[in-house]
Amino acid sequence: MADLAKYRNIGIFAHVDAGKTTTTERILKLTGKIHKTGEVHDGESTTDFMEQEAERGITIQSAAVTCEWKKHRFNVIDTPGHVDFTVEVYRSLKVLDGGIGVFCGSGGVEPQSETNWRYANDSKVARLIFVNKLDRLGANFYRVTDQVKKVLGAHPLIMTLPIGEEDDFVGVVDVLSQKAYIWDDTGLPENYEITDIPADMVDDAAIYREQLIETALEADEDLLMDYLEGELTPTEEQIKACIRKGTREIMFFPTYCGSAFKNKGMQLVLDAVVDYLPSPTEVNPQPLTDEEGEPTGKFAIVDTKETFKALAFKIMDDRFGALTFIRVYSGVLKKGDTVLNSFTGKTERVGRMVEMQADDRTELTEAQAGDILAIVGMKNVQTGHTLCDVKDPCTLEAMVFPEPVISISVTPKDKGGSEKMGIAIGKMVAEDPTFQVETDIDSGETILKGMGELHLDIKVDILKRTYGVDLTVGKPQVAYRETITQEIEDSYTHKKQSGGSGQFGKIDYRIRPGEPNSGFTFTSKVVGGNVPKEFFPAVEKGFKSMMDTGVLAGFPVLDVEVELFDGGFHAVDSSAVAFEIAAKGAFRQSIPKAGAQLIEPIMKVDVFTPEDHVGDVIGDLNRRRGMIKDQEPSSTGVRIKADVPLSEMFGYIGSLRTMTSGRGQFSMEFSHYMPCPNNVAEAVIAEVKEREAASKKK
């Protein structure tokens, strides 16, 4: 069995364009996995193997790669940086033990890095920081580390200092060993020499070493006391052990600098992964939950002697067939084993197991706790499902995915395309849980739902190119919802007499607005047996089934409380069906009286703009009905945080680039629902009615 202490499951995450994929490429090159280094801007990198990735120069899927460094095995996952794909980051963080946060030396802490950092904090993942692109114009290592403190509220532990800046960046000073690593101009990572620190940096390096020791020793109080009292000069081993402990407990983040593109400074980052990031056994074990998602008090202990437990965190379809990526938490998995999917309750036989090399692979016969691998050809497994031993069923923490907020309609241009599109969409839905599909009953159109414009744009692109489906795409639609604003007390009687046994159900009820984001809640306060208890579920079911279509424009209804307080029944004619029909009738009767209202999704928007354009950007957000929440000036520009309705954000990236001469950036994620202004609501309702009328004519 392999030694788990020598395993490192790490992810590389950052903002778009900070250099994650290039960093992954360099790691593969240094560890001898690839011989020619691919470049992102040539569209040739190993991990960005989708056409759409090569073309746009962004990572969409998180790719998994395995390599070795100093007899340690690395499972590296390169995650996307773009906000529409953050779910990929979230999924990957779930199964990682440590990460490298990459920041651009000139761009610093950008909007998306903040979201990713927040996710990593939530998942309690230990991280290193790598400040990249120090060879770029305007790059400044010290400015970026200050931003990390201010914007992310994190404590960077500075391990290396840059020698020279921008074009003159030649290498780094290792603060702990007080040695300089200088690379030549060939761009080859192995061409470096270790020398003394340049004379003008000796004092700075000594100050930083002092700071490093003090911060590191905070992880061990006894050592710190001895050190401060002057009784101890800590050895390098002692300092490293403290850094490792502090990193693992997320007290601080060892921070490195370099240029991945120019191959400078990468070895030290790899050494740091070995030295400071935790192995699978050192991370708090994953809690096991019951089917409802409540913790059972048991844990998936990383040990080969335990029963088998693994989490499927990604589904991918490629030229070799369907791949299910899993992280094994406990036990051993052998080729030919039968495992249980605790979500579906079905068993699956494990045929082929492979270790991934981005889009290449090596066959495996067995895997053990701590491994990340892919299984070929699993049938009913989706992202977030737990695979476990048939005799010991369990559920690892369920993954919760955000609801899609934007939709588009797609229709194949020819008849033969429908089947092709159906198969392709089926595969894409299994791969990405935030991508959903439904069929419009009236018009028969296929509706795709996703997290943002770019998200759907890329999905349509994949359908066209990868699967060869020629599509007509409708304009984007916002996921509006309906709610009520007033409390109302009402009564409804359902009775039907048609020879033989009839139907009878009478309910008296109150309908009131619920708490935001509460969905639907039902309570019954019937006393005296006017409505027998066995009919309560039927009343609840009747109301609940109507929540999908509101009375204004047929959008789903949110945040409604129904309270049943009285009613009447007939000894012969009353049945569960009669009470269910009564509840449906009651909903149709009372919701219009309760001040039905249209509500729209509000997005949390984070815009970065150079200083000269702040006025234009704020004016534009105000025109889009935005509420400005905060402004943070930084050395490179200003960050503006606002809440803006999604319906006003279509095509925003184009207008932002025009306003800021191409330098502006933004990210947005769903925040909450808010009532629509009357004029907007009227326009939306009119548009829906128009659409319905048009589809009836067809």
Say whether pLDDT at 359 is over 60.
Answer: no
Q: Which residue has the higher pLDDT, 451 or 685?
A: 685
Q: What is the spatial distance between Cα 486 and Cα 597, in angstroms, rounded to a whole number?
A: 10
Say whether pLDDT at 83 is over 50.
Answer: no
Q: Which residue has the higher pLDDT, 220 or 625?
A: 625
Q: What is the DSSP string of 116-184?
A: HHHHHHHTT-EEEEEEE-TTSTT--HHHHHHHHHHHH---EEE-EEEES-GGG--EEEETTTTEEEEE-
Q: What is the pLDDT of residues 225-282, one digit of tens each?
A: 888 887 777 888 888 888 988 888 888 999 998 887 788 878 888 888 888 988 888 8
Q: What is the spatial distance between Cα 398 and Cα 343, in angstroms, rounded to a whole number?
A: 10
Residues 6+ apart with CB under 8 A from 397: 94, 286, 287, 289, 293
Say whether pLDDT at 642 is over 90.
Answer: yes
Residue whose token pair is 């934007």: 406
Q: What share of the chain is helix, strand, coil (3-state, %, to 5)?
A: 30, 35, 35
Give the long-range contacts of residues 457-463, CB within 8 A, separation 24 or more: 458/52, 458/60, 458/84, 459/428, 459/435, 460/408, 460/410, 461/52, 462/50, 462/52, 462/424, 462/428, 463/410, 463/421, 463/424, 463/425, 463/428
Q: How confident is the model at residue 56 (pLDDT cuts 50, 70, 90)?
A: very low
Say whether pLDDT at 39 is over 50.
Answer: no
Q: What is the pLDDT of residues 18-32, one digit of tens each?
A: 565 677 666 767 766
Residues in the chain: 698
Please, what is the Cα angle at 595 between 593 and 599, to 5 degrees?
A: 140
Q: Which residue has the higher pLDDT, 142 or 396?
A: 142
**What is the pLDDT at residue 186?**
77
Say whether pLDDT at 38 is over 60.
Answer: no
Say whether pLDDT at 321 is over 70.
Answer: no
Q: What is the pLDDT of residues 275-308, one digit of tens each?
A: 898 888 888 777 777 666 667 778 778 777 888 8
What letters, b where the CB count within 10 A reaches 16 and e where it falls short, cover 146-155? bbbeebbebe
Q: Closest Cα to residue 468, out of 438, 424, 427, 435? A: 424
User: Residue 124: what residue type?
Assistant: K
Helix 236-248 × helix 202-217 angle, to 10°: 60
Instruction: Give yes or no for a contact between 601 and 670, defined as CB atoms under 8 angstroms apart.
Output: yes
Query: Residue 655 carries which DSSP code?
Result: H
Q: What is the mean pLDDT of residues 650-669?
A: 79
Say whether pLDDT at 621 is over 90.
Answer: yes
Residues 6+ apart with CB under 8 A from 453: 84, 406, 476, 650, 651, 653
Mean residue pLDDT across the chain: 80
Q: What is the mean pLDDT of residues 427-450?
A: 77
Please, what is the Cα angle at 98 between 432 and 133, to 5 degrees?
A: 85
Is 664 exposed, middle or buried, given 0-12, 13-18 or 19+ CB atoms closer than 10 A?
A: buried
Helix (H) / strand (E) containing 231: none
Q: How confident is the model at residue 548 (pLDDT cuts 50, 70, 90)?
A: confident
Q: What is the pLDDT of residues 166-217, one digit of tens each?
A: 778 888 888 888 888 888 877 777 788 888 888 888 888 899 988 888 888 8
SS3 of residue 457 by DSSP: helix
Say whether pLDDT at 43 is over 60.
Answer: no
DSSP count for the chain of H helices, then E strands: 16, 38
**What is the pLDDT at residue 318?**
62
Say whether pLDDT at 42 is over 50.
Answer: no
**What is the pLDDT at residue 447?**
85
Q: What is the pLDDT of residues 595-607, one digit of tens each?
A: 888 998 888 888 8
Token digits of residue 528:
């005296």
Helix (H) / strand (E) containing 279: none
Q: How confident is the model at residue 446 (pLDDT cuts 50, 70, 90)?
A: confident
Q: Closest Cα to residue 506, out of 549, 455, 564, 436? A: 564
Q: What is the spatial distance between Cα 580 and Cα 541, in angstroms, rounded to a whole number?
A: 7
> Of the given ranges (49-53, 179-183, 432-436, 568-572), which has the lowest mean pLDDT?
49-53
Q: What is the mean pLDDT of residues 151-156?
A: 84
